[in-house]
Amino acid sequence: MSTVLSTQPKRWAAHDARLNYLDQAAHFLAPTAPSTAAFLQSGHSELTFEKSAKVAEERRRSVCGACGNIMLPGWTCRVDQEVCKPHKQHARPVQTGAKSIVYHCLGCKSKTRFPVNRESRRPMRPKARNTMEAPGAKQKGLQGTISASRTAPQPEVSSTASTKQKNRTRKQAGLSAQLAQTKSNSKSGLGLDLMDFMKSG
């Protein structure tokens, strides 16, 4: 039992190596020998089926699952976009207008469809508010906003006017103080004027 378990990883490693070799060889021969490349890709698909591995979406887009043809858009395959139409027998069409990308293989004429996820393309819409205001409350709030906007600038104007008045008063007081000081300095000199000199002469 232990021998089987020890050889199992080696077996899958060799299996993966064969898959990589077939894929690389097919892509290398695709431009010059497309039929040989398709044969190698068919062998790749058989080995993948034996391993019971899930085929990746990237490989389904690049290699035809029916014939192994390497699908190159505009050269070995054609890519179209289809819109699924609702069936008349269904009372409730669920996938009305659902889009899908279709790969048409030009080698075996088979089609491979890939659905387009429409949920990821829908823009996110803001949720509506459940709470609703009463008409009277909304009108009162509007009136309060208008009255506040009208009365708000008045304190600013009055405070600005009072500040200017205070500045003017301070300037006048300072000028009067300087004038008084100048007069006192002129009087506190020698105490003699021109008439005193004429009398002494």
User: CA–CA separation, 44 vs 47, rounded Å?
Assistant: 5
User: Residue 44, Cβ neighbours under 10 Å: how many?
Assistant: 21
Q: Tell me the C-alpha distance between 198 and 136, whole Å.
A: 95
pTM greater than 0.95: no
Q: The tokens 């505009």 sit on which residue?
A: 74
One digit per residue, the tens of pLDDT, for the chain of length 201 reads: 333 344 556 777 888 888 899 999 999 998 899 899 999 999 988 888 877 777 788 888 889 988 999 998 888 999 998 876 655 555 555 455 568 889 999 989 999 888 887 554 555 555 555 555 555 555 555 566 655 555 555 555 456 767 777 777 877 777 777 777 766 655 555 555 556 556 555
Task: Using DSSP, state whether 150 is helix, strand or coil.
Answer: helix
Q: What is the pLDDT of residue 168?
A: 79
Q: How far is CA 8 from the centre of its chain?
A: 47
Tell me, what's the pLDDT at 5? 43
pLDDT reported for residue 4: 39
Measured distance CA(29)–CA(20) in Å, rounded: 14
Half-sphere exposure of 33 (CA within 13 A, CB side): 9
